[in-house]
């Protein structure tokens, strides 16, 4: 079975190729461009949610970041980056892995529904949501003061789940990270990882096949606007940075 990552650029699906790079596993990367703002019809046809990410693996089509990440770690990664019950970081990993997309991302999105400085017509949920968002950033900054990675001293899938909300989500919801020096230092560590493509690294040789980090074989395939499948020599594949959508723009 070939694991295929259907990557809608500038979306939560950037977690998935990054995870595959960190695990050093083979996968096919199929890139979809937004058309113009939302997912193109080819992407929406993959899964009923129409949302990124989506992976396919043989007969299986799977969506939802947490599910895709857990599935890939357990089925393709030999359990790496996903501490289990006997691991000393197990409980911390579980907390931050679920917190990233179960609390932090939603809180940012909810608070972002009403611009800062407005009160949403007196809706008490507006002030509450903004406080919970700010509490999240403060709690995260405190966690990263004494820990290199979310779960502790090991990089895990919890980090893969988190980074989108500190980087690419800023395309959609403005946020200011300057008050959080430990978060900024963390993002610098993320940017220095082997699994994160260098800013200007060339990808592939024009035949659609490029080496992944760790010896992984990455097959790129793009789906452009209007459903046209275009060769990988197009602008989206000229740097591996663009494989991951916005991630390195914002680091």
Pairwise CA distance, residues 245 & 236, whole Å = 9
Q: How far is the CB of 55 from its own copies (least distance, A)?
A: 10
Binding mask of the shown chain, residues 73 to 112, with x at each position contacting its own copies by CB under 8 A: -xx--------xx-----x--xx-xxx-xxx-xx--xx-x
Task: Give the largest CA-CA distance in the chain.
Answer: 57
Could you say which of 49, 134, 174, 235 contacts its own copies (CB under 8 A)?
49
The answer to the question of residue 32 lying near its own copies (CB under 8 A) is no
Q: How far is the CB of 95 from its own copies (least distance, A)?
A: 5
Q: Which is nearer to its own copies, 50 or 234 (CB)?
A: 50
Q: Which residues, 6 or more positions from 28, have their beta carbon under 8 angstroms from its beta carbon?
A: 2, 3, 4, 5, 218, 219, 221
Closest CA to 29 of 8, 50, 59, 58: 8
Interface residues for its own copies in 206-235 (CB under 8 A)? Answer: none
Write out 116-143 in H/E/C secondary structure: CCCCCCCCHHHHHHHHHHHHHHHHHHHH
Could you say which of 116, 123, 189, 231 contacts its own copies (CB under 8 A)?
123
Bridge partners of residue 218, in order along the sequence? 27, 210
Neighbours of 53 (CB within 10 A): 25
Binding mask of the shown chain, residues 160 to 199, with x at each position contacting its own copies by CB under 8 A: ----------------------------------------
Could you say which of 1, 2, 67, 206 contacts its own copies (CB under 8 A)?
67
Q: Which residues, 6 or more positions from 96, have their beta carbon under 8 angstroms from its beta carbon?
A: 143, 150, 151, 158, 161, 162
Q: Which is nearer to its own copies, 98 or 217 (CB)?
A: 98
Closest CA to 136 of 175, 172, 192: 175
Q: How far is the CB of 147 from its own copies (least distance, A)?
A: 14
Q: Which is nearer to its own copies, 34 or 193 (CB)?
A: 34
Binding site for its own copies (CB under 8 A): 48-51, 60, 62-67, 70-71, 74-75, 84-85, 91, 94-95, 97-99, 101-103, 105-106, 109-110, 112-114, 120, 123, 125-126, 129, 132, 135-136, 139, 142
């Amino acid at each position: 079975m070939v694991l295929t990552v259907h990557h809608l650029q500038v979306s939560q699906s950037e977690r998935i190729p990054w995870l595959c790079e960190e695990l050093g596993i083979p996968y096919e990367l199929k890139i979809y461009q937004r058309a113009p703002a939302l997912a193109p019809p080819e992407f929406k046809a993959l899964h009923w949610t129409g949302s990124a990410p989506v992976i396919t693996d043989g007969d299986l089509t799977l969506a939802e970041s947490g599910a895709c990440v857990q599935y890939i770690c357990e089925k393709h990664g030999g359990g790496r980056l996903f501490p289990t019950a006997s691991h000393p970081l197990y409980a911390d990993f579980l907390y931050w892995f679920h917190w990233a997309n179960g609390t932090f991302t939603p809180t940012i999105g909810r608070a972002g529904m009403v611009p800062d400085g407005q009160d949403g017509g007196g809706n008490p949920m507006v002030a509450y949501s903004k406080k919970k968002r700010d509490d999240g950033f403060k709690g995260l900054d405190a966690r990263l003061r004494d820990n290199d990675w979310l779960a502790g001293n090991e990089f895990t899938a919890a980090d893969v789940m988190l980074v989108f909300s500190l980087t690419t989500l800023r395309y959609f919801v403005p946020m200011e990270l300057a008050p959080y020096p430990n978060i900024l230092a963390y993002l610098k560590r993320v940017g220095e990882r082997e699994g994160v493509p260098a800013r200007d690294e060339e990808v592939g040789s024009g035949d659609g096949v490029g080496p992944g980090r760790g010896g992984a074989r990455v097959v790129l395939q793009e789906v452009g606007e209007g459903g046209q499948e275009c060769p990988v020599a197009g602008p989206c594949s000229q740097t591996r940075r663009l494989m991951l959508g916005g991630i390195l723009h914002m680091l």
